[in-house]
Amino acid sequence: MDDTITGFISLALFTAGIGTLIFHLVTKGIVPIFLGSSFAFIAPIVKATELYGLAGTLSGLVAVGLVYFLMI
């Protein structure tokens, strides 16, 4: 369990850094910002992984991402 949480935190920080770099490339550095991440999502994802397995959890995350994309 602890390795899973450590992995999620590392992944969140890594993707926040990649997102920040992409943002700076797109805006040509005009807007100084760091795109951070909340760690509040880690506990529900860990619990969902326990209940539905990794495949079920990742499928749910992708589905939520698609719904969010369609809303904007």
pLDDT in tens, the chain (72 residues): 556 666 767 777 788 888 888 888 888 878 777 767 677 777 888 899 899 998 998 899 899 889 988 886
Q: Side chain identity at 32, as an amino acid letter?
A: P
Q: Which two tokens stand for residue 72?
A: 């904007």
The pLDDT value given to residue 17: 83
Q: Which two tokens stand for residue 16?
A: 């926040």
Cβ contact 16:34 at 8 Å: yes
Tokens of 58: 């990742």
Q: What's the pLDDT at 63?
A: 94
Q: What angle do CA 24, 37, 31 make, to 5 degrees?
A: 25
Q: Please check whether residue 28 is in contact with residue 4, taking contact to mean a CB–CB distance below 8 angstroms.
A: no
CA gap 20, 13 in Å, rounded: 10
What local confidence, expressed as pLDDT, does residue 20 receive? Answer: 83
